[in-house]
Structure 1
Amino acid sequence: MAFAMEDDPFKDPSLDARMPSPPHPAASVPATLAVGRNAALTLGTDSLVITDEDLVEPKGACCGLLSGQNKTTRSVPFYNVLWAEHSANGEVTIHYAQAVSTTAVRPAIISYQPEKSETRHADIWIEQLLDRAYGASQRRKRMKVLVNPFGGQGNGSKIYNNHIAPIFAAAQCELDVEYTNHNGHAVEIARDLDIDTYDVVACCSGDGVPHEVWNGLSQKDDAARALMKIAVAQLPCGSGNAMSLNFNGTDSPSLAALATVKGLRTPLDLTSITQGDKRTLSFLSQSVGMVAESDLATEHLRWMGSARFTWGALVRLIRKSVYPADIAIKFEVDTKDGVRQKYRTEAAKPPRKHDDRPLPSHDKALPELRYGTVNDPVPSDWEIIPHDKLGSLYAGNMAYMSPDANFFPASLPNDGCLDLIRLDGDINRQTAITAMLSIEHNKFFDIPHVNYTKVSAYRIIPKNQVTGYISIDGEKIPFGPFQAEVHAGLGTALSKSGHMYEAKGV
């Protein structure tokens, strides 16, 4: 059983059909369902075991979907089971995600006719199979699917249709698909979304569409309610797929689709960015200096793929580029030992069984800013630190920024903090290059000159520089002072654990 629904604030009238039925007494649940003289389906410890003397090994099957020890036995992990049903003609049909390589799955089906003596057990057995397959995750999620046809170098639609849609369909998800056709279109769609009709907005795109969705939801009159009720997921169909790497543990479209189908509702911190008179939400990162330039100033090198970021960083390291600024910070954890302990305390907790946050009222908009905006005086309990030789300010709400860049290994989805990195720009070139190369080996956190803290708010005021690059979730904003303030658990995503990223921590 996923969790009791009687007092669930997220419940809607159609949800009962998509949630597990009450569990049957263990003694009445047969672990094995006989489906022929020489065939049986068994609920194992962590997988469905199919025994059939006439079983033919599927072409290309791998990665644990076959035992490899007995040609008459196939083992399907419960995680890969998408759906099961007992049809009117008496057949038991099971849909599952069959691994075709280490980086891809595709839907597959098995069907058997139970023995007459087993027919009365079939429905109970299927319910137990689905319970093990989904656990605390909602079945048959109602998804508003946004496809960016221009993502993935123009292959967004093809990626969705070939690799994602088949998984969603096999899992019996309810789909409403819409294609974005201009910049800001996802903002408009999310702003006008009926939040009682959907459980998830699935963004088949890069990280830009989720950014737009959260900002669209933030414009609703009931923004706080919308941001909590609607889970946002990202399916990798773009050039930047950091959100999928963090929550799904992959940038494979089909594996991400499977992770979304099985995903657990996960509270996610969102950050208000104020600049001038404008307020926007950030879900991923903010950067000023070398990191921002390595991204935004290398747009003309997109043909290089992710290597353009490395190239951009190396060029600026060799030049010893500096970006003078004053930074005002509201520290929450200001030592690496403290950061490490905070991460490990959360990592030791068991997976979340359900989303227990109270749903905001219908008239609840975005939360008020505790610290005002960038136009207000710096709060008295913040620390103002001059950075005359700043090389980069990088604040992350997630761990991975790209497949080989676990920049923020101590980040947590819902700790009320941004992980803030500050680097000097005038350090020895060899030391700086060594630090950059350490990122893909997960040793960046331990580099002595990497200043890594957890903060709930900050403000940066550039000095002696009137033009430059500022990146918010990979999007360019005007160069100038801005302020960031974290809102704990304001948003909702889907993850495997319900409370952690799929990245190696500290």
Structure 2
Amino acid sequence: MSTSSNESGTALAGENDAFIGLGASADDALLLDSQSLTIREDSVTVADRRKASKKRDPSCCGPNVAAKSGDEKISLHNVLWARVYISEDKSAVQITHAKAFGKRLVKPATLSIPIAESDLEKADQWVERLLARAYEGAQQAKRLKVLINPNGGPGAAEKTYRTEIEPIFTAASCAVDVELTQYPKHAIKIAQELDIDAYDAVVCISGDGIPHEVFNGLGKRPDARKALRSIAVCQLPGGSGNGMCWSFTGTDAASLAAVALVKGKRTHFDLVSITQGDERILSFLSQSAGITAELDLGTENLRWMGNTRFTVGFLQRVVAERLYPTELYVKLAIESKEEIRRHASTHREPPDHTCDGTGLPPLQYGTVKDEVPDDWVKEWHPKMGNFWCGNMICMSKDVHYFPAARPNDGYMDLTTWDGNVGRIKAFSIMLGAETGRNFDHPQLNYRKVLAYRFVPKNQKDGYISIDGEKIQFAPFQAEIHHGLGVSLSLRHNSFEGPTIT
């Protein structure tokens, strides 16, 4: 089919099929006098049509012409915003995108492509289509409540936000309300009083402590279930661990994680209720005792070292061959590693918690003060080396301890190993955690559970960590709440990190 150009110089279809090429339809292309803008499967291409016309061999096919080395090609993932800009003397299509300045840094950059007045309507339609493709499955122009912990990790959270994260949010047309936390548990108060209808997400620029406070603040509200199911809670790197950020964005590079967040899709994930004494705490990340709790809580004086503090703490404790005798009661869901591997490819839709009450969901198994249910398995671990239970795939940059974890499968991932395995095997288990390959380690007991009770024995004091926060060294009980929380994930219903296959 052949056509001609219109009076403004905007080419029509037919002879311009060559400029569209593979992976694009006619609606995906905006063909102007001098340039063509084409939305492809995973990118948008801006090409100089004049150069292509001079070099075009009439006998060649369209796809071979569509991607010249001088074309500007932008990943759809990196497209932050697009608009038709109109002023008194010119009009243009502007595409703002995240441009790489190294492996761990991107900054906003804008391409401006002049257009004729007669092309404005067509350009508007093309821009709308580009944004729909660039944000496919994700909300555009998110409304964000940003909480910055100025004392988190190495203490650079505010600077990181201003220099690497805020420019991405601004370029993506996000509406942002920033607040610095002023004292411990301040984020609990903020979350309790938050207008959940005014924001799409709470973004914590912090370590794991501020998300922990936000979830517990939302959990203390009279409309707790609605709040937890309505507003996404996210973390961008501002601490030492950044486990939530790693699990949902796959990076702790602040600008890259910010791009992943603005492109993030709403994903429900499991939360855990912890009861100890008369207190009920929500956990979003992990519960630990033994060596990992000591690594987290016993190395507070080494926070200035960043992630290196965990390595130093681990070496100190493995050399000492510390043991943590424990009585454990478990409500098993999936016991064998073979069954867990088969389960890894399944998906369970979470229940709608907003339809059955206002406060937190009732506890199915009672509290730590109640009798242990008859169908729970009792275990005695006189030489426990490590106890770790979680509901995310990554605990930090160097710890991918739960390769079988899924955001909302309705189970906790429980891992234990005995401290008498020896120093070399202990090293092997922890090194496997860094690569996600510890699942098959023979000394690591890995199970899916619905609930458990942890009872420390023969110790006067020690560390128990809930999401990196210290609680009393005393018995506690945990149970899962399927899909009660919401966050934003790069891929819907998926974590980022090593997984079992």
Coarse TM-score class (shorter-chain normalised): 0.7 to 0.9
Partner of 1:189: 190
Maintained 8 Å contact 2:295/2:313: yes
Contact 1:469 1:479 in 2 (8 A): yes
* Structure 1 residue 127: Cα displacement: 1.0
Deviations 1:390-444 (A, max 9, x none): 1111001111111121111111110111100111011222222222222223321
- 1:242 deviates by 0.9
State whether structure 2 residue 422 is matched by structure 1 residue 428.
yes
Match of 1:409 among 403, 411, 424: 403
| Partner Cα separation in structure 2 for residue 466 and residue 405 of structure 1 | 29
Q: Report how many residues are paired.
A: 460
Question: Cα gap change, 1:362/1:372 in structure 2, threshold over 3 Å: closer, same or farther?
Answer: closer
Partner AA of 1:73 in structure 2:
D
Q: 1:62 maps to which residue? A: none
Please state how far the C-alpha of 1:157 moved relative to its aligned partner.
1.1
Deviation at 1:324, TM superposition (A): 1.0
Q: Determine the C-alpha separation between the residues in 1 that align with 2:336 and 2:350.
A: 31
* Conservation of the 8 A alpha-carbon contact between 1:336 and 1:453: yes
Give matches, 1:135-146, under 5 Å: 135-146=136-147
1:43 shift after superposition: 1.1
C-alpha separation between the residues in 2 aligned to 1:185 and 1:139? 29
Unaligned runs of 5+ in 2: 1-23, 52-66
What is the CA–CA distance in structure 1 between the aligned matches of 2:170 and 2:351, rounded to whole Å? 30
| Conservation of the 8 A alpha-carbon contact between 1:222 and 1:361 | no
> Is the alpha carbon distance of 1:76 and 1:360 closer, same or farther for their aligned partners in structure 2, counting shifts above 3 Å?
same
Q: Partner of 1:58 in structure 2? A: none
Question: Matches of residues 50-129 of structure 1 in structure 2 within 5 Å?
Answer: 50-52=46-48, 70=68, 72-89=70-87, 90-129=91-130
Say if 1:273 and 1:483, in contact at 8 Å, map to a contact too: yes
- Secondary structure of the 1:408 match is coil
- For residues 15-37 of structure 1, the C-alpha deviation after alignment (integer angstroms, 9 at most, x for no partner) is xxxxxxxxxxxx996322134x4
- After alignment, is 311-320 or 230-239 more displaced? 311-320
Q: Secondary structure at the match of 1:271?
A: strand
**Secondary structure at the counterpart of residue 136 of structure 1:** coil
For residues 255-310 of structure 1, what are the alpha-carbon distances to aligned partners after superposition, in whole Å with 9 as ceiling and x for unaligned? Answer: 11111101000001000000000001000000111111122112222233322222
Point out the structure with max Rg over C-alpha.
2
Listed one character per residue, the Cα deviations across residues 364-412 of structure 1 (whole Å, up to 9, x for unaligned) are: 1100000000000001111111111111110011111111211111111
Quick one: structure 1 residues 359 and 424, their matched pair in 2 at CA, closer, same or farther if it must change by over 3 Å? closer
For 2:392 and 2:357, the matched residues in 1 are separated by 30
1:224-303 equivalences in 2 (<5 Å): 224-303=225-304
1:470 aligns with 2:485: no
The answer for the alignment partner of 2:392 in structure 1 is 398
CA displacement 1:341-369 (0-9 Å, x = unmatched): 111334xx9xxxxx996471596110000
Shift of 1:72: 2.8
Question: Identity rate of aligned residues, in percent?
Answer: 48
2:154/2:305 contact within 8 Å kept: no
3-state SS of paired residue (2:338): helix
**8 Å contact 1:156–1:205 — kept in the other structure?**
yes
Once the two structures are superposed, residues 27-69 of structure 1 have per-residue CA deviations (whole angstroms, 9 ceiling, x without a partner) of: 996322134x4322111221110113899xxxxxxxxxxxxx8
2:35 matches 1:39: yes
1:134: Cα distance to partner?
0.4
What is the RMSD of the two structures over their aligned residues, measured on CA atoms? 2.1
How far, CA to CA, are the matches of 2:212 and 2:333 in structure 1?
25
Aligned equivalents of 2:357, 2:439: Cα separation in 1: 42
Report the Cα offset of residue 318 of structure 1.
2.5
Equivalent residue runs for 1:134-173 within 5 Å: 134-173=135-174
* Letter in structure 1 aligned against 2:497: A
1:458 partner amino acid: Y
Whether the 8 Å CA contact 2:94–2:111 is kept in 1: the answer is yes
Give ranges in structure 1 of 5+ residues lacking alignment: 1-26, 56-68, 350-354
CA distance in 2, matches of 1:47, 1:190: 38
TM-score computed with the length of structure 2 as normaliser: 0.88
Structure 1 residue 120: deviation in Å?
Answer: 2.6
TM-score (normalizing by structure 1): 0.87
Residues 72-106 of structure 1, C-alpha deviations (whole Å, 9 max, x = no match): 31100111111111233332211111111121111
Distance 1:250 1:54 in 2: 41
Report the Cα distance in structure 2 between the residues aligned to 1:81 and 1:446, rounded to whole angstroms.
Answer: 40
Give runs of aligned pairs for residues 193-232 of structure 1, distance below 5 A.
193-232=194-233
Alpha-carbon distance in 2 for matches of 1:486, 1:98:
41
Q: How big is the shift at 1:121?
A: 0.9
Measure, in 1, the Cα distance between the counterparts of 2:297 and 2:125.
56
For 1:20, the equivalent position in structure 2 comes to: none
Q: Given the superposition, is the C-alpha separation of residues 161 and 357 from structure 1 closer, same or farther in structure 2, using an over 3 Å criterion?
A: farther
Provide the rounded CA distance (Å) in 2 between the counterparts of 1:325 and 1:431: 20
Note if contact 1:33-1:118 (Cα within 8 Å) is conserved in structure 2: no
Task: Tell me by how many angstroms 1:238 deviates.
Answer: 1.6
The one-letter code of the counterpart of 1:495 is: S
- Change beyond 3 A, Cα 1:52–1:356: farther
How far apart, in 1, do the equivalents of 2:184 and 2:48 lie? Answer: 53
Q: Report the alpha carbon displacement of residue 329 of structure 1 after superposing the two structures with TM.
A: 0.2
Residue 392 of structure 1 aligns to a residue whose secondary structure is strand
Q: 2 CA distance for matches of 1:107 and 1:246?
A: 24
